[in-house]
Protein backbone atom coordinates (compact mmCIF):
# COMPACT_ATOMS: atom_id res chain seq x y z
CA UNK A 1 0.00 0.00 0.00
CA UNK A 2 1.32 3.43 -0.93
CA UNK A 3 1.09 5.92 1.95
CA UNK A 4 1.21 9.70 1.72
CA UNK A 5 3.05 11.10 4.73
CA UNK A 6 2.35 14.73 5.69
CA UNK A 7 4.63 16.29 8.31
CA UNK A 8 3.20 19.61 9.49
CA UNK A 9 5.74 21.94 11.08
CA UNK A 10 5.67 25.53 12.17
CA UNK A 11 7.69 26.65 9.13
CA UNK A 12 7.04 24.07 6.41
CA UNK A 13 4.69 21.24 5.52
CA UNK A 14 6.65 18.31 4.06
CA UNK A 15 5.14 15.46 2.05
CA UNK A 16 6.40 12.21 0.62
CA UNK A 17 5.15 8.95 -0.89
CA UNK A 18 7.31 5.81 -0.97
CA UNK A 19 9.81 6.07 -3.81
CA UNK A 20 9.20 9.78 -4.45
CA UNK A 21 11.14 12.93 -3.64
CA UNK A 22 10.03 15.20 -0.84
CA UNK A 23 7.73 18.11 -1.64
CA UNK A 24 6.93 21.02 0.67
CA UNK A 25 5.12 24.30 1.06
CA UNK A 26 5.20 27.07 3.66
CA UNK A 27 3.42 26.72 6.98
CA UNK A 28 2.83 29.35 9.68
CA UNK A 29 0.21 31.03 11.86
CA UNK A 30 -2.20 31.45 8.93
CA UNK A 31 -2.28 27.75 8.03
CA UNK A 32 -5.75 26.33 8.65
CA UNK A 33 -6.73 22.68 8.02
CA UNK A 34 -8.75 23.78 4.97
CA UNK A 35 -5.68 25.49 3.52
CA UNK A 36 -3.54 22.47 4.35
CA UNK A 37 -5.93 20.19 2.46
CA UNK A 38 -6.06 22.53 -0.53
CA UNK A 39 -2.28 22.75 -0.85
CA UNK A 40 -1.74 19.03 -0.23
CA UNK A 41 -4.22 18.12 -2.95
CA UNK A 42 -2.58 20.56 -5.38
CA UNK A 43 0.94 19.37 -4.61
CA UNK A 44 0.20 15.63 -4.79
CA UNK A 45 -2.29 15.39 -7.64
CA UNK A 46 0.17 13.33 -9.73
CA UNK A 47 0.90 10.88 -6.86
CA UNK A 48 -0.96 7.62 -6.23
CA UNK A 49 -1.65 6.64 -2.62
CA UNK A 50 -4.27 4.69 -0.71
CA UNK A 51 -3.77 5.99 2.85
CA UNK A 52 -2.39 9.03 4.67
CA UNK A 53 -0.29 9.59 7.80
CA UNK A 54 -0.56 13.09 9.23
CA UNK A 55 1.83 14.44 11.87
CA UNK A 56 0.78 17.67 13.58
CA UNK A 57 2.38 19.78 16.36
CA UNK A 58 -0.46 19.32 18.84
CA UNK A 59 -1.95 16.82 21.30
CA UNK A 60 -3.84 14.08 19.46
CA UNK A 61 -6.49 11.78 20.90
CA UNK A 62 -8.47 8.83 19.58
CA UNK A 63 -10.80 11.10 17.59
CA UNK A 64 -8.24 13.56 16.25
CA UNK A 65 -6.69 16.70 17.67
CA UNK A 66 -7.45 17.46 21.32
CA UNK A 67 -6.11 21.02 21.11
CA UNK A 68 -5.30 23.62 18.50
CA UNK A 69 -1.65 23.78 17.37
CA UNK A 70 -0.03 26.74 19.06
CA UNK A 71 1.88 28.00 16.03
CA UNK A 72 -0.68 27.41 13.26
CA UNK A 73 -4.11 28.73 12.35
CA UNK A 74 -7.36 27.62 13.98
CA UNK A 75 -10.05 25.06 13.20
CA UNK A 76 -7.99 21.88 13.62
CA UNK A 77 -9.97 20.34 16.48
CA UNK A 78 -12.88 18.35 15.06
CA UNK A 79 -11.79 18.74 11.44
CA UNK A 80 -12.64 15.67 9.31
CA UNK A 81 -9.42 14.98 7.41
CA UNK A 82 -10.63 11.67 6.00
CA UNK A 83 -13.62 13.33 4.36
CA UNK A 84 -11.55 16.28 3.10
CA UNK A 85 -8.70 14.15 1.71
CA UNK A 86 -10.91 11.22 0.63
CA UNK A 87 -8.53 8.63 2.09
CA UNK A 88 -8.12 6.79 5.41
CA UNK A 89 -6.04 9.06 7.66
CA UNK A 90 -4.05 8.26 10.79
CA UNK A 91 -3.19 11.37 12.80
CA UNK A 92 -0.43 11.54 15.42
CA UNK A 93 1.63 14.19 17.14
CA UNK A 94 4.61 15.16 14.96
CA UNK A 95 7.10 14.06 17.65
CA UNK A 96 5.42 10.64 17.73
CA UNK A 97 5.83 10.24 13.98
CA UNK A 98 9.50 11.23 14.11
CA UNK A 99 10.11 8.96 17.08
CA UNK A 100 8.55 5.99 15.34
CA UNK A 101 10.78 6.55 12.33
CA UNK A 102 13.93 6.86 14.42
CA UNK A 103 13.28 3.72 16.46
CA UNK A 104 15.95 1.04 16.21
CA UNK A 105 14.95 -1.49 18.86
CA UNK A 106 15.02 -1.58 22.64
CA UNK A 107 13.55 1.24 24.71
CA UNK A 108 14.03 4.60 23.03
CA UNK A 109 13.25 8.10 24.28
CA UNK A 110 12.76 10.75 21.59
CA UNK A 111 13.39 14.44 22.27
CA UNK A 112 12.44 16.85 19.48
CA UNK A 113 14.30 20.15 19.63
CA UNK A 114 12.56 22.87 17.68
CA UNK A 115 10.18 25.70 18.47
CA UNK A 116 9.15 23.71 21.52
CA UNK A 117 10.08 20.34 22.99
CA UNK A 118 8.41 17.21 21.58
CA UNK A 119 8.90 13.92 23.41
CA UNK A 120 7.82 10.29 23.05
CA UNK A 121 8.79 6.83 24.31
CA UNK A 122 8.95 3.84 21.95
CA UNK A 123 9.24 0.18 22.95
CA UNK A 124 7.81 -3.18 21.84
CA UNK A 125 5.80 -1.70 18.93
CA UNK A 126 4.14 0.77 21.27
CA UNK A 127 4.57 4.54 21.07
CA UNK A 128 3.71 6.64 24.13
CA UNK A 129 3.32 10.40 23.52
CA UNK A 130 4.80 12.46 26.34
CA UNK A 131 4.70 16.10 27.41
CA UNK A 132 8.03 16.29 29.21
CA UNK A 133 8.44 19.94 28.33
CA UNK A 134 6.07 20.65 31.25
CA UNK A 135 8.52 19.25 33.80
CA UNK A 136 10.28 21.82 36.01
CA UNK A 137 13.88 22.69 35.26
CA UNK A 138 15.78 25.39 37.09
CA UNK A 139 14.11 27.99 39.27
CA UNK A 140 10.55 28.60 38.13
CA UNK A 141 11.24 27.35 34.61
CA UNK A 142 10.37 24.26 32.58
CA UNK A 143 12.25 22.00 30.17
CA UNK A 144 10.19 23.59 27.40
CA UNK A 145 11.36 27.08 28.38
CA UNK A 146 15.03 26.09 28.59
CA UNK A 147 15.34 23.82 25.54
CA UNK A 148 12.81 25.41 23.18
CA UNK A 149 13.70 28.11 20.68
CA UNK A 150 13.07 30.94 23.14
CA UNK A 151 15.43 29.40 25.68
CA UNK A 152 18.12 28.98 23.05
CA UNK A 153 17.81 32.60 21.97
CA UNK A 154 17.69 33.95 25.54
CA UNK A 155 20.52 31.91 27.07
CA UNK A 156 22.86 31.27 24.13
CA UNK A 157 24.18 28.12 22.52
CA UNK A 158 26.67 27.06 25.20
CA UNK A 159 24.16 27.26 28.04
CA UNK A 160 21.59 25.47 25.88
CA UNK A 161 24.04 22.63 25.23
CA UNK A 162 24.75 22.29 28.94
CA UNK A 163 21.02 22.18 29.70
CA UNK A 164 20.49 19.60 26.97
CA UNK A 165 23.21 17.34 28.36
CA UNK A 166 21.70 17.47 31.85
CA UNK A 167 18.13 16.93 30.63
CA UNK A 168 19.18 14.02 28.39
CA UNK A 169 20.92 12.29 31.29
CA UNK A 170 18.03 12.79 33.72
CA UNK A 171 15.37 11.62 31.28
CA UNK A 172 17.36 8.62 30.07
CA UNK A 173 17.80 7.45 33.65
CA UNK A 174 14.19 8.21 34.63
CA UNK A 175 12.74 6.20 31.75
CA UNK A 176 15.43 3.47 31.82
CA UNK A 177 15.92 4.21 28.12
CA UNK A 178 18.58 2.34 26.18
CA UNK A 179 19.24 5.48 24.16
CA UNK A 180 17.88 8.94 23.41
CA UNK A 181 17.30 10.23 19.90
CA UNK A 182 17.52 13.98 19.40
CA UNK A 183 15.36 15.21 16.52
CA UNK A 184 14.06 18.51 15.26
CA UNK A 185 15.85 21.37 13.59
CA UNK A 186 17.91 22.40 16.63
CA UNK A 187 19.40 18.93 17.09
CA UNK A 188 22.04 20.02 14.56
CA UNK A 189 23.61 22.36 17.12
CA UNK A 190 23.87 19.64 19.78
CA UNK A 191 27.62 19.32 19.29
CA UNK A 192 29.10 17.34 20.88
CA UNK A 193 26.18 14.98 21.40
CA UNK A 194 25.38 14.23 25.04
CA UNK A 195 26.35 10.72 26.22
CA UNK A 196 23.78 8.06 25.38
CA UNK A 197 22.21 10.05 22.56
CA UNK A 198 22.23 10.00 18.78
CA UNK A 199 20.93 12.47 16.25
CA UNK A 200 17.83 11.67 14.20
CA UNK A 201 17.52 12.39 10.50
CA UNK A 202 15.19 14.50 8.39
CA UNK A 203 13.75 11.34 6.87
CA UNK A 204 12.58 9.93 10.22
CA UNK A 205 9.15 11.55 10.01
CA UNK A 206 8.50 9.89 6.65
CA UNK A 207 9.70 6.50 7.89
CA UNK A 208 7.45 6.89 10.92
CA UNK A 209 4.49 7.76 8.74
CA UNK A 210 4.97 4.60 6.69
CA UNK A 211 5.30 2.53 9.85
CA UNK A 212 1.92 3.73 11.11
CA UNK A 213 0.39 1.53 8.41
CA UNK A 214 2.95 -1.26 8.55
CA UNK A 215 2.35 -4.71 10.01
CA UNK A 216 5.35 -5.99 11.93
CA UNK A 217 6.17 -9.68 12.47
CA UNK A 218 9.00 -10.61 14.82
CA UNK A 219 11.39 -13.42 13.73
CA UNK A 220 10.13 -16.85 14.84
CA UNK A 221 6.93 -15.27 16.17
CA UNK A 222 3.89 -17.46 15.49
CA UNK A 223 1.48 -14.78 16.60
CA UNK A 224 -0.51 -12.74 14.05
CA UNK A 225 1.18 -9.56 12.78
CA UNK A 226 1.04 -6.66 15.23
CA UNK A 227 0.66 -3.10 14.02
CA UNK A 228 2.50 -0.23 15.63
CA UNK A 229 0.25 1.09 18.39
CA UNK A 230 0.12 4.69 19.57
CA UNK A 231 -1.16 5.10 23.12
CA UNK A 232 -3.79 7.87 23.25
Cβ atoms of 108 and 181 closer than 8 Å: yes
At 160-197, the pLDDT tens digits run 999 999 999 999 999 999 999 999 889 999 999 999 99
At 56-105, the pLDDT tens digits run 999 998 889 999 998 899 999 999 999 999 999 999 999 999 999 999 99
The structure's pTM equals 0.87
Cβ atoms of 22 and 15 closer than 8 Å: yes
Which run of H or E residues covers position 36? helix 33-43
**Largest Cα–Cα distance in the chain?**
54
Residue 98: partners with Cβ closer than 8 Å, 6 or more residues away: 55, 110, 112, 118, 183, 184, 200, 204, 205, 208
For the chain, list the domains and their CATH numbers.
3-96 (3.30.420.40), 104-205 (3.30.420.40)
3-state secondary structure of 156: coil
Amino acid sequence: MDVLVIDVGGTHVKMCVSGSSERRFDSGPELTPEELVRQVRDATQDWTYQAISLGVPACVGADGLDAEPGNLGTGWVGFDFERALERPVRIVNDAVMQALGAYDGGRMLFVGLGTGLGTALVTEHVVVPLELGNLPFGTGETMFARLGREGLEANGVERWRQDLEEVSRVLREAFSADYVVLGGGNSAIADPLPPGTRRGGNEDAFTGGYRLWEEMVEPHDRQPPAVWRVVR
